[in-house]
Structure 1
Amino acid sequence: MNPTDPASVLTDSAALTELTTGLTAWAGSIMSALLRPWVGYQLLIALSVFAVAHGLAALIRPRVHEWLREREGWPKYRLRTALVVIRRLRMVIFVILLSIVVLVMREVTWPSRSFVLVVLRDLGVAWLIIAFATRLIGNALLRAIVRYGAWIWVTLSILGFWDEAQTVLDQAAISIGETRLSALMVIQAFVILGVLIAGARFLSTTTSATIRRNKEISPSMQVLAVKFLQVLLYGAAFFIGLKLVGFDLTGLAVLSGAIGVGLGFGLQKVVSNLVSGIIILLDKSIKPGDVISLGETFGWINSLGARYVSVVTRDGREYLIPNEDLITGQVVNWSHSDDFVRLDIFFGTAYHDDPHKVRQIAVDAAKSVDRVLSFKAPVCHIVGFGDSSVDYILRFWIRDPTGGLTNIRGNVYLALWDAFQEHGISIPFPQREVRMLGEPEAKPATVPD
């Protein structure tokens, strides 16, 4: 729209005049409603009822808290619902008392003299319903937008001003090319998208919990199904919300195509990690709970993300490894097909010790350690004759690599030490003879006659 165009200026002036007229008429209708007879008395009665509700809530709330603390066997959802009711206890009591007052006044006087009280009661009931319903929305900002948007809409509807408000909001608009964007459309978009996204989140959480409880689905497929379900539900909520508002999705499709081309070049690593994550979930090479080692990192898979894999080590550190590294790098999965892991330790004994006896003692010592498997019997072999010792390798199996590898090796070494001490087996250490050049050789001592 050209601001120098006289026709545009006249159109803007007419729209502004119409908007001002609508606001003036709306404010006048509100003032005329407030100046009706008996309105002041009804407002005074409502304030009195609210004061009584406030006092009763302050008196009842501590006792209800004490009663809830004794309900140890209650499920969490029931306790959370009770806490929400306690937080709204004053409004609940106010609505109940006001309903009683309305019934009494309708019996003793004309219905018109309780009109304001009826409106306040309906507003209180609507507020409670909206407050309880919006507890399903996890995001605080989105919950506030939906709650107050629904509250304003219900208030205007109950007061009978929704048509006037709708007209005023529709007149407050701007034009961008051929698209007309009004305040009413923006508010509807926020509320509708908020409700749809909250519904998608509720369905996603409920369905994800059901999928995770299904033991017939592998952990990797559970993660893939949950991620796919979340993308499907949130995407459907977004596009359905835009369609309900009246947004033209044709232009959005063209724009998303152009954005996709740009993102393809600028976010190659991100896209690569996303695709690698899907491949990992499909081929089941790693899954939550597996014990892996990648370079210097050794730990177990905590979770599989869309961009990275969370690996927790035994010292409590959590490494976020990009999915691409797991696809292109060499990964040792200690529990891919089964949980059995073979460990090797090396030791040496003196040459005067019988190697047959040493091998049997070493095998018996390994069997005495708790985590060493007995049905996969340990074995001990001679691997070489060193400068100072006969060198051996002791091999044994475990099936719980998540319990740690260094500690089980240490326990086996300690069992070897105790067994060798008990049987008199010596563990030699290198011995060196140092001679100083230029010193005369020592003469042998002579024994006197």
Structure 2
Amino acid sequence: MDWDLSAQPPIVQQAVGYLEQAYALALSWLVSPAAWSQFAVLLAAFLLALVITRRLRKTLTGWLTPKEGATDIFASARRFLLLCLPLLLPIFAYALTAIGEEIIRSVFGSGDIIAFGKRVFLFLAARILVREIVADPFLKLLGRYVLLPVMAVYAVGLLDPLSQFLNETTVNLGNISFSIMALLRGVIAGALLFWFGRWSNDQSAAYINKQEEMRPATRQLAAKAAEVVIFGVAFFLLMNIMGVPLTSLAVLGGAIGVGLGFGLQKIAANYISGVILLLEGQATIGDYVELDNGEAGTIVQTTARAMILETFDGRWIVVPNEDFITTRVINYSDQGSANRLEVGFSVSYDTDINLIPDIIAEAVAKHPGVLDEPEPPDVELRGFGDSGIDFGVEFWVNGIDDGQNKYASDVLFLIWNALKEHNIEIPYPRRVIEMRNTPEA
């Protein structure tokens, strides 16, 4: 084709040049025995891989399918391998094509077409991996917008030129210089590292929380320490992958130090207070605490900066960790320690009060939540009131008297029923009104 394109824009001339090259390449393939041989090898490799896959897949499915309800590590591994069975076809096709490529190159001395086909099989394997095997939303997104485009560029043979271009293009930020390739590599590696760090942190936290022989505070401290180690290692690996020397971070470290000394000192104080609380175990998740300002609630979450309390009415109170160190905090729970509660009641003056302690103590002891240790229920005479004789019963329970544990209400029911059973009157307020006649004037 001999066209006069001198009057056309340069981009049109360049596009036509590429079309002419493609046309010439297609003509050479049509008349070249080596090209036809490579196409034939590709087709034969694909068909043979298809036959092998169909025969193997049924056998492997039966062998890999775990027993129903199995949850051990081997069952999980077999389920994962079952998910990977769709990869058999492109993997076998790639392997057979690689064998065919060696034969073709030894006979004809070239194998560009079959090498292209081999890369296409790899692209198909990556596509199956992203669409059918990967279930995590983040990894699926990364595969769709990073892995598949990279494999597509690799399949058409442009990965090396593109990599060279990105390596030669540099970006300078002060005394730090890095290439576009290093930046892209850092973004991709950082995403993978921190995803893996999050997954590892979840697994380690789940394992630590299962260790019931450890105190809750110790478990939290171990989980926080594991989190710091995991993400610290991920950060240093990322810096190494990006080629950023750690000495270049000295200026950043100095700036952070100055910030902590001025504007961030409260954050630093809360973080250090949180570490102290974990080490000492003064308050942990599940404890019911009352602060010095009267606010009270159950600790439902701990963070590096604060603890979150949930009140009986469902409100969340965010309390800085420093307040637990510098102010008075009453801990009613202490994760399982017994608490002493007291309820009061009255009987009429006609009652033989010497019978009351035994009757009420026996009745209260029937409650399943009332403990015999450190002391059984104890009934004490409190005083002589206007309408009746006042008593108080003290008893020990695990936990506190809240919406879930209605200890006080249950004990009052037991007291009422016990008094009624023994025909003991519960007084009600009485008043005597004296009427006096005033003398007539």
| Pairwise same-fold verdict (TM > 0.5) | yes
Partner of 2:237: 240
Matches within 5 A, 1:129-140: 140=138
> Structure 1 CA distance, aligned partners of 2:132 and 2:253?
37
Please say if 1:256 is aligned against 2:248. Answer: no
Partner of 1:122: 122
Aligned residue for 2:262, secondary structure, equals: helix
> Structure 1 CA distance, aligned partners of 2:237 and 2:256?
21
Residue 201 to residue 373, structure 1, CA distance change in 2 (3 Å): closer
Please say if 1:426 is aligned against 2:438. Answer: no
> Structure 2 CA distance, aligned partners of 1:363 and 1:195?
64
How many residues are paired up?
A: 402
> Structure 1 CA distance, aligned partners of 2:98 and 2:313?
68
Partner of 1:444: none
Task: Report if aligned partners of 1:220, 1:282 keep a CA contact under 8 Å in 2.
Answer: yes
- Which residue, 65, 69, 74 being the options, matches 1:72? 69
- State the shift of 1:346 in Å: 0.9
Task: Report if aligned partners of 2:87, 2:129 keep a CA contact under 8 Å in 1.
Answer: no
> Structure 1 CA distance, aligned partners of 2:336 and 2:96?
72
> Structure 2 CA distance, aligned partners of 1:225 and 1:30?
64
> Structure 1 CA distance, aligned partners of 2:413 and 2:268?
50
- Which residue, 356, 359, 362 being the options, matches 1:361? 359
Please say if 1:182 is aligned against 2:179. Answer: yes
Residue 159 to residue 80, structure 1, CA distance change in 2 (3 Å): same
Task: Report if aligned partners of 2:348, 2:425 keep a CA contact under 8 Å in 1.
Answer: yes
Partner of 2:87: 92
> Structure 1 CA distance, aligned partners of 2:335 and 2:404?
19
- Which residue, 154, 166, 169 being the options, matches 2:166? 169
- State the shift of 1:427 in Å: 1.3
Task: Report if aligned partners of 1:345, 1:395 keep a CA contact under 8 Å in 2.
Answer: yes
Q: Mind listing any 5+ residue stretches in structure 1 that lack a counterpart?
A: 1-19, 442-449
Partner of 1:324: 322
- State the shift of 1:409 in Å: 1.1
Matches within 5 A, 1:286-305: 286-294=283-291, 295-299=294-298, 301-305=299-303
Task: Report if aligned partners of 2:91, 2:125 keep a CA contact under 8 Å in 1.
Answer: no
Aligned residue for 1:361, secondary structure, equals: helix
Please say if 1:386 is aligned against 2:385. Answer: yes
> Structure 1 CA distance, aligned partners of 2:339 and 2:270?
30
Task: Report if aligned partners of 1:349, 1:427 keep a CA contact under 8 Å in 2.
Answer: yes
- State the shift of 1:176 in Å: 4.4
Aligned residue for 1:71, secondary structure, equals: coil
> Structure 1 CA distance, aligned partners of 2:204 and 2:310?
27
The percent of aligned pairs where both chains have the same amino acid is: 27
* Amino acid of the structure 2 residue aligned with 1:117: G
- Which residue, 108, 132, 141 being the options, matches 1:144? 141
Matches within 5 A, 1:19-34: none
- State the shift of 1:74 in Å: 3.9
Q: Mind listing any 5+ residue stretches in structure 2 that lack a counterpart?
A: 1-10
Residue 264 to residue 80, structure 1, CA distance change in 2 (3 Å): farther
Q: What TM-score does the superposition give when structure 2 sets the normalisation length? A: 0.72
Aligned residue for 1:220, secondary structure, equals: helix
Partner of 2:215: 218
* Amino acid of the structure 2 residue aligned with 1:274: Y
* Amino acid of the structure 1 residue aligned with 2:329: V
Aligned residue for 2:406, secondary structure, equals: helix
- State the shift of 1:408 in Å: 1.3
Q: What TM-score does the superposition give when structure 1 sets the normalisation length? A: 0.70
> Structure 2 CA distance, aligned partners of 1:33 and 1:275?
72
- State the shift of 1:351 in Å: 1.0
Q: Over aligned residues, Cα RMSD in angstroms?
A: 4.8
Task: Report if aligned partners of 1:286, 1:333 keep a CA contact under 8 Å in 2.
Answer: yes
> Structure 1 CA distance, aligned partners of 2:21 and 2:164?
16
